[in-house]
A and B are shown apart, each in its own frame.
Chain A
Amino acid sequence: MKRSSEKTNQPIAPIDEPKRDFLKLILSGGFVAWAASVVYPVLMYLKPPHQAEVVVSTVKAGKLSELEKDSGKIIKFGTKPVILIRTGTGEVRAFSATCTHLDCTVQYKKDLGLIWCACHNGRYDLNGRNVAGPPPRPLNEYKVVVQGDEIAVHKV
């Protein structure tokens, strides 16, 4: 201010627009930076940290003699549910039990001979293919190895 009044020799200094714009920029920029430095840690705090999961590649899934023909059950595969199915012909298959539609857990539906999701009536055949209802993708398949009476399920 002082300098500009000296320059123009006027008693009341005229507003130095560029200077004022510069101050506005500094102030508002400073405010934005300050706000960001407050909001950023809060947002990062709310973002759940990724916890290291135990990587599971194989689980024992019980005895073959205990799994009836034409039935299914849910087994724990690490933290995820996997559905183990024994078909009418005695073949054992395993698929991810998480419905590809909206994340519900599927079940074996004996009367239909299908894998069924109760939430939105999604249906998969015994190869895990989505055959009816809203599911957009087939269920992921797991590899089943039967040794004697022991069933083991492997991630493909």
Chain B
Amino acid sequence: MKSLWKRGYEWIGERVQLDELIEFMGKKYVPVHRHSIWYYFGGVSLFLFIIQVVTGILLLMYYKSGEELAFESIQFIMSKVQFGWLIRSVHSWAANLFVLAAMIHMFSVFFERSYRKPREMTWVTGMFMFFLALGFGFSGYLLPWNELAYFATKVGTDIAGVVPGVGKTIMEFLRGGEEVTGATLSRFFGLHVAVLPGIFTVFLSIHLVLVQLQGMTHPMEHEGGPRYEVKKMPFFPNFVLRDLLLWLIVLNVIAILAVFFPWELGRKADPFAPAPAGIRPEWYFLFMFQTLKYIPAQVWFIDGEVLGIMLFGVGGLLWLLVPFWDQKSSRGEKNRLINYVGLGVVGYIIALSILGWTA
């Protein structure tokens, strides 16, 4: 067996310079310090994305898009297909954990200022992936064509519609017409399974190549100090094995959640039924949803919802561009403003989410 491995390795090695790759990986080190735990969340996000790709492809084998087919096909998957309930529950749970892991990854990078020069591009590609992840969540939510998803999509696409100027065009483009109908479902299906994964893969590749080429960031307090004092472990195999162990744990957690807390399907969407009481979006949109509830219809001369969207749009843009306005961190100086901004954002999201959850 071993000789077979070896022969295979040599066969490839004669054609491609495998040794160089192994040497490169062997030379890569991961710093060990009290914040090292945060290094794992990028890997966990990657693993959850892989789970989404695999379970998503499995769901595609039975899912049917269309007003009269979508809900019924998920019912079929969950009740007739062997382990269909498991695959669908894993897909839903992993989707939520994916957003959570990506959020933790994003905030830890933010607070560690790991976006500082020379890693601006890693931050920006990561942020694009985060926005795409929200797009995945939003488009995937509609696919079962249930009551909650129907109204969530009405609200979400209507919000796009209030953007001054191009809003209505964007809304019609998203809805595939003026109303949320089967046409919307078809579009969201196409976005969810083809467009978004394609774009996501491009950003993911750039992101991972950059991480491999540039290595992990050191905490800022280590910078300038003598490097030999910093403990480190080899990326391969030590860090990779730890990563894999954590992935195994994550998979087990998802399995437990999927079995004991199976994802509900709810009631089929009915365009002629009122929005059900207690309707709310997925937890990661909750803080925005709750904010929209508080903004009055008119603020000064601006429509409340327009104001809300503009605020979140500007906030998101500033967040995306943090490596460019935080020049202090790039120079290795302390920038307390980043802590205040980060804590403010985390506090706001948590507070409004709790209010939205308990309302």
Using a CB–CB cutoff of 8 Å, the interface residues on chain A facing chain B are 46-48, 51, 74-76, 79, 81, 83, 97, 101-107, 117-121, 130, 133-136
* Residue contact A107 to B293, C-beta cutoff 8 Å: no
A-B contact pairs, 5 of them (CB 8 A): A104-B151, A104-B154, A105-B271, A118-B274, A121-B293
Known: A103-B158, A118-B274. 18 other contacts (CB 8 A): A47-B172, A47-B173, A76-B272, A102-B159, A102-B292, A102-B305, A104-B151, A104-B275, A106-B275, A107-B275, A118-B279, A120-B293, A121-B293, A133-B297, A134-B297, A134-B304, A136-B303, A136-B305
* Residue contact A48 to B177, C-beta cutoff 8 Å: yes
**Most B-side CB within 10 Å, residue of A46, A105, A106, A135:** A105
Q: CA–CA, A126 to B298, complex, Å?
A: 22
Q: Which parts of B160-210 form the interface with A (CB within 8 Å)?
A: 169, 172-173, 175-177, 179, 183
* Residue contact B176 to A48, C-beta cutoff 8 Å: yes
Kindly provide the distance from the CB of A87 to the nearest chain B CB, expressed in whole angstroms: 18
Kindly provide the distance from the CB of A131 to the nearest chain B CB, expressed in whole angstroms: 11
**Is B296 in the interface zone, CB < 8 Å from A?**
yes
* Residue contact B183 to A48, C-beta cutoff 8 Å: yes
Q: CA–CA, A51 to B176, complex, Å?
A: 11
Return chain B residues, CB-CB under 8 Å to A97.
274
* Residue contact A119 to B297, C-beta cutoff 8 Å: no
Query: Who on chain A is nearest to B292 by CB?
Result: A120
* Residue contact A134 to B296, C-beta cutoff 8 Å: yes
Return chain B residues, CB-CB under 8 Å to A136.
297-298, 303-305
Give the tally of cross-chain contacts (CB within 8 A).
81
Return chain B residues, CB-CB under 8 Å to A79.
179, 271
Return chain B residues, CB-CB under 8 Å to A120.
155, 289, 292-293
**Is B314 in the interface zone, CB < 8 Å from A?**
no
**Is B8 in the interface zone, CB < 8 Å from A?**
no
Return chain A residues, CB-CB under 8 Å to B179.
79
Q: Which parts of B293-352 form the interface with A (CB within 8 Å)?
A: 293, 295-298, 303-305
Q: CA–CA, A61 to B253, complex, Å?
A: 52
* Residue contact B151 to A134, C-beta cutoff 8 Å: no
Q: Which parts of B269-301 form the interface with A (CB within 8 Å)?
A: 271-279, 289, 292-293, 295-298
Chain B, 143-165, contact with A by CB distance < 8 Å: what is the 0/1 string? Answer: 00000000100110111000000
Query: Who on chain B is nearest to A80 by CB?
Result: B179
Kindly provide the distance from the CB of B179 to the nearest chain A CB, expressed in whole angstroms: 7
Q: CA–CA, A130 to B298, complex, Å?
A: 12
Name B272's contact: one of A74, A101, A134 (CB within 8 Å).
A74
Q: CA–CA, A74 to B271, complex, Å?
A: 10
Return chain B residues, CB-CB under 8 Å to A46.
173
Return chain A residues, CB-CB under 8 Å to B155.
102-104, 119-120
The answer to whether residues A102 and B158 also contact, given A134-B292, A134-B293 and a CB cut-off of 8 A, is yes
Q: Which 10 A-B pairs have the closest CB atoms?
A: A107-B274, A103-B158, A136-B297, A118-B275, A104-B275, A102-B155, A102-B158, A103-B154, A48-B177, A105-B274
Q: CA–CA, A52 to B180, complex, Å?
A: 17
The answer to whether residues A105 and B177 also contact, given A119-B155, A136-B297 and a CB cut-off of 8 A, is no
* Residue contact B305 to A105, C-beta cutoff 8 Å: no
* Residue contact B279 to A119, C-beta cutoff 8 Å: yes
Kindly provide the distance from the CB of B132 to the nearest chain A CB, expressed in whole angstroms: 19
**Most A-side CB within 10 Å, residue of B176, B271, B275:** B275
Q: CA–CA, A97 to B271, complex, Å?
A: 11
Return chain A residues, CB-CB under 8 Å to B278.
118
